[in-house]
Amino acid sequence: MCLTEISTYTTTKDTTLNILVIGQGGREHTLVWKLAQSSLAQKIYCTPGNAGIAQIAEPIQIDDDFTKLADWSEAKNIDLTVIGPENPLAAGIVDVLHERGLKAFGPNKQAARLEGSKDFAKQLMLKNDIPTAAYQTFEDADEAIAYIEDIKIPVFVKADGLAAGKGVIPGRTIAEATQAVKTILVDKTFGNAGNSVVIEEELIGEEASFTVLVDGKNCLPFVSSQDHKMSHDGDIGKNTGGMGAYSPAPVMTPELHEYVMERVVHPTVKGMSDIGCPFKGVLYVGLMITDTGPKVLEFNCRFGDPETQVLLPRLKSDLVPLLIACIDGTLDQHTDVQWRTEAAACVVMASGGYPNPYQTGKTITGLEKADSIEGVTVFHAGTKENENNVVTAGGRVLGVTALADDLKSAIEKAYRGVTAIHFEDAHWRKDIGHRALSRTIVNYKIR
């Protein structure tokens, strides 16, 4: 059963809100940065935050006990909580806050299964005729391996649950796919997220990220974007949480945009409502644009990271009313959302070795120099303060984002920002946006 909706309120120009953002990555820094620009924001808190977030929001330390978080929120009169990462959403943080009458942006626990279980998402797509790759789900490793040997085609092996963006392993040969099954089901590399695996056919084409705000019924699509998942240039290496992004994504033509809304977004939103669990929050659709049209790779139930770092800088409109409208079911009243015409690019600077083991505590220099470049904003991901220095504290450390009149200029400017920054063993891809820059016109079929 999904929660009964809490009472609504309307923001006016005289309303000011206390806002809490949950998370500590580049996505959350970007959210705080955008929310702080709103005339509706009175005070912004973030838990746990990072060194960059601490410059514009008050960091607080609350453990993962949602009851304690709700107690604190009531004591501080928090008017809006924005949840960044997927884990607290899948664990039911929105349910706990809503039960207290506190407004929280994001899907509740049942709706968050769209991301929390790839098998659930696949079943929903199958039931609602949403284009996606053929698949099978297995809990037994021997059965999964027998299936791989039988079909003899390239596949992707995916941990069913949440694995921080790293639970998708390519299996382009039988040996690779077999090892991926063992990694997930036998070695339990991803813990309980790998209690079952989804094995799906490999789709060939170009990826795109499609982001939509949803209020349970109404949808508001964002501009297009594309990220880079693989750790090294040329889209090789290991799968990561994302090494960079850009917007707009030329692959997403107006025709394809309309197709995705009609064949993917609206059926998904209706399908969730039909099973008694309306989806509210961000519906992120990972797409593969094949020669027969777009197919869904995955759903996420929150803003993408690093896609948020290129989407929100392009959003001219105030974000706060849009988030509240998603909670209140009034998104259809926001038909005048405005976007900047400039393009945006984000280059992720990561710790050496990421996504494999890496060292932290490396002093970061050049942040002010990068931020001083016109059009450049440095969003912190894995950082913290240490004796008046900003040091590395995660795999993905910074997202250097730039706005410019065209995508080529935005990418060049972002790399200017990157070269101004230094920390030991820093790693970044040198080819962010390569698909867009080398793109020729491709006539994709839609059927």
pLDDT tens digit sequence for 177-199: 999 999 999 999 999 999 999 99
Q: For residue range 398-436, list pLDDT tens digits in order.
A: 999 999 999 999 999 999 999 999 999 999 999 999 999
SS3 string, 377-389, reads EEEECCEEEECCE
Q: What is the pLDDT of residue 164?
A: 76
Q: What does the pLDDT average to over 237-243?
A: 90
Distances (CA, A) of 239 to 227, 231, 242, 434: 12, 6, 8, 18
Same domain, 196 and 267: no
* Overall average pLDDT of the 286-302 stretch: 95
pLDDT at position 191 = 94
Residue where a domain stops, chosen among 164, 182, 201: 201
Tens of pLDDT, residues 48-104: 999 999 999 999 998 789 999 999 999 999 999 999 999 999 999 999 999 999 999
d(CA 368, CA 371): 5
Regarding whether 142 and 249 lie in a shared domain, the answer is no
Q: What is the mean pLDDT of the chain?
A: 93
Q: What is the pLDDT of residue 336?
A: 92
Is the domain of 30 the same as that of 169? no
pLDDT in tens, 355-414: 999 999 999 999 999 999 999 999 999 999 999 999 999 999 999 999 999 999 999 999
Q: Identify the pLDDT of residue 239.
A: 84
pLDDT surpassing 80 at residue 153: yes
Q: Is residue 251 part of a domain?
A: yes
Q: In angstroms, what CA-CA distances link 96 with 59, 64, 415?
A: 21, 12, 42
Dihedral sign from CA coordinates of 53, 58, 61, 65: negative
Is 181 contained in some domain? yes
Percent of all residues in the chain with a pLDDT value above 70, rounded to a whole number:
95
7 within some domain = no
Which of 61, 86, 106 is where one domain is finished? Answer: 106
What is the CATH number for 156? 3.30.1490.20
Residues 283, 403: one domain? Answer: yes
Q: Please name the residue that has the structure tokens 């900003």.
A: 390
On the question of pLDDT at 11 being above 60, the answer is no
How far apart, in Å, are the Cα atoms of 363 and each of 50, 211, 389? 14, 35, 7
Q: What is the 3-state secondary structure (H, E, C) of the chain?
A: CCCCCCCCCCCCCCCCEEEEEEECCHHHHHHHHHHCCCCCEEEEEEEECCCCHHHCCEECCCCCCHHHHHHHHHHCCCCEEEECCHHHHHCCHHHHHHHCCCCEECCCCCCCHHHHCHHHHHHHHHHCCCCECCEEEECCHHHHHHHHHHHCCCEEEEECCCCCCCCEEEECCHHHHHHHHHHHHHCCCCHHHHCCEEEEECCCCEEEEEEEEEECCCEEECCCEEECCEEECCCEEEECCCCEEEECCCCCCHHHHHHHHHHHHHHHHHHHHHCCCCCEEEEEEEEEEECCEEEEEEEECCCCCCCHHHHHHHECCCHHHHHHHHHHCCHHHCCCCCECCCEEEEEEEECCCCCCCCCCCCECECHHHHHCCCCEEEEECCEEEECCEEEECCCEEEEEEEEECCHHHHHHHHHHHHHCCECCCCECCCCCCHHHHCCCCCCCCCC
pLDDT confidence band for 3 (50 / 70 / 90): very low
Q: How many CB atoms lie within 10 A of CB 98?
A: 20
In sequence order, the 6+-apart residues with CB closer than 8 A to the CB of 345 are: 244, 245, 246, 310, 401, 402, 404, 407, 410, 411, 413, 414, 432, 433
Query: Are 141 and 73 in the same domain?
Result: no
- pLDDT score recorded for residue 180: 95
Query: If you average pLDDT over residues 127-153, what whole number do you get?
Result: 95
- pLDDT tier at 442, thresholds 50, 70, 90: very low
Structure confidence by residue, pLDDT tens digits, 41-64: 999 999 999 999 999 999 999 878
Answer yes or no: is 149 within a domain: yes
- In a domain? residue 383: yes
Q: What is the CATH number of the domain that holds 81?
A: 3.40.50.20
- Looking at the fold, whether 288 and 370 belong to one and the same domain comes out as yes
Structure confidence by residue, pLDDT tens digits, 242-275: 999 999 999 999 999 999 999 999 999 999 999 9
Cβ(335)–Cβ(363) below 8 Å: no
CATH number for 336? 3.30.470.20
Question: Does 120 reside within a domain?
Answer: no
223 and 156, same structural domain?
no
Q: Are residue 323 and residue 236 in the same domain, yes or no?
A: yes
Q: Is residue 446 part of a domain?
A: no
Pairing of strands 168-171, 293-300: unpaired
Query: What is the share, in percent, of the chain residues with pLDDT greater than 90?
Result: 89
Domain that holds residue 56: 17-106
* Whether the predicted pLDDT of 440 surpasses 60: no
pTM value is: 0.92
Residue 342 and residue 234 share a domain: yes
Q: Are residues 23 and 159 in the same domain?
A: no
* Upper half-sphere CA count for residue 163 (Cβ side, 13 Å): 26
Please say which residue of 106, 125, 154 terminates a domain: 106
Which bin fits 106, alpha (ψ -120 to 50), beta or left (φ > 0)? left
> Do 298 and 314 reside in the same domain of the chain?
yes
pLDDT reported for residue 8: 43
Give the CA distances from residue 403 to residues 340, 349, 413, 429, in Å, rounded to whole numbers and listed in that order.
Answer: 9, 18, 8, 19
Q: Are residues 195 and 211 in the same domain?
A: no
Q: What is the pLDDT of residue 439?
A: 73
Looking at the structure of the chain, the number of domains it has is 3
435/352 Cα distance (integer angstroms): 25
Cα–Cα dist 160/49, whole Å: 28
On whether residue 112 sits in a domain, the answer given is no
Distances (CA, A) of 262 to 257, 304, 344: 9, 22, 27
